[in-house]
Copies of this chain bind each other. A is one copy, B any other.
Amino acid sequence: MPTAAVLPKGTFSDEAARYFFQGVPVELKYQKMIADVFKSTARGDTDWSVVPIENTIDGSVSLHMDWLVHEVDLPIRAEWVFPAIQNLVGRRSELTGAEGGDWDPSKITKVLSHPVAMAQCYEFLRSRLPHAELETLSSTAEAIRTVHANPGLGWAAIGTHTAAADYGLDVLQEGVTDHDNNYTRFLLVGDKPFDKPGASHYKTSILITLPEDYPGALHQVLSAFAWRRVNLSRIESRPTKKKLGNYYFFIDIEMSLDTVLLPAAIAEIEAIGCQVRILGSYPSYPYEG
């Protein structure tokens, strides 16, 4: 069975991976850190890596992009989005009010979570649980594990459904993040091709390094896409790490490389002296509840 390296059990990445691989025979291989995820696939121990890449609490987006560019050479095989929903998790039985019924906010003495997850739920915590102590841990999975290990204290965690189920805890309230429309993008990277039905469209991700930094350089690069009416869905400059102020650009294009227009645009960009590295041309899967 093919294998995919993913961050630890019960993390947000684990939940997104389980969702994505529904009906696809893939074995998840849990790794302690994102570096282990990438290295596992680069060594050939796993077929793919699951990498959170935008708007994520599982690590640092820029670190993950840097790894993808500097440390490994693994093509992107698929992309999916997954709602960045956090939940309030605890033991309903120990949090029920005197008159029974649902959980009673005043019974919660402490809320544990990852610092970024905590920040994403700031308004919820302030309005609903203003009296609760807040404690930050290294991951939401660790927070749920800690609540599980300390019964009878009125502790709750902010974390995933998956980890709540794994530890037999109750989801007291779903979707406690302050903004609803928060989606995290995940990439599947690896040498092995991947395909499953249900893609909404195809995308191509490239990395462009400018020959030198001069005003209008990026504008010139974008011209090659603009006059062809090729749509870009994301653009981001990142330092090259060789010199401060020396940048490359990540560009996501809403088109497969397997067309006439895109290779022609890339050839033009190379002709004006830019380095173009193709990070992958891959299907994009929407979230389907």
Contact = CB atoms under 8 A, between A and B. Distances in A.
Given A60-B60, A60-B116, A215 B230 contact: yes
Contacts of A60: 56-57, 60-61, 116, 119
Nearest to A178: B71
Interface in A221-239: 222-223, 225-237, 239
Given A60-B60, A61-B62, A216-B229, A241 B181 contact: yes
B138 A114 contact: yes
A138 to B, nearest CB: 4
Interface residues of A, number: 62
A247 interface: yes
B222 A33 contact: no
Nearest to A64: B119
B182 A241 contact: yes
A118 interface: yes
A244 to B, nearest CB: 6
Contact of A219 (B114, B116, B183, B225): B225
Contacts of A62: 54-55, 61
Contact of A122 (B35, B214, B232): B35
A235 to B, nearest CB: 5
A115 interface: yes
Interface in A245-280: 245, 247, 249
B239 A236 contact: no
Interface string A100-139: 0000000000000011101110100000000000101111
A43 interface: no
Given A122-B35, A225-B215, A239-B55, A244 B183 contact: yes
A196 interface: no
A2 B135 CA distance: 29
Contacts of A175: none
Closest 8 CB pairs of A and B: A216-B226, A219-B226, A136-B138, A35-B122, A219-B222, A215-B229, A215-B231, A60-B116
7 contacts: A60-B119, A63-B120, A137-B137, A181-B244, A213-B231, A216-B226, A220-B226
Given A63-B120, A136-B138, 13 more contacts: A32-B136, A35-B119, A35-B122, A59-B115, A213-B231, A215-B229, A216-B229, A219-B225, A220-B226, A222-B222, A234-B237, A234-B247, A235-B249
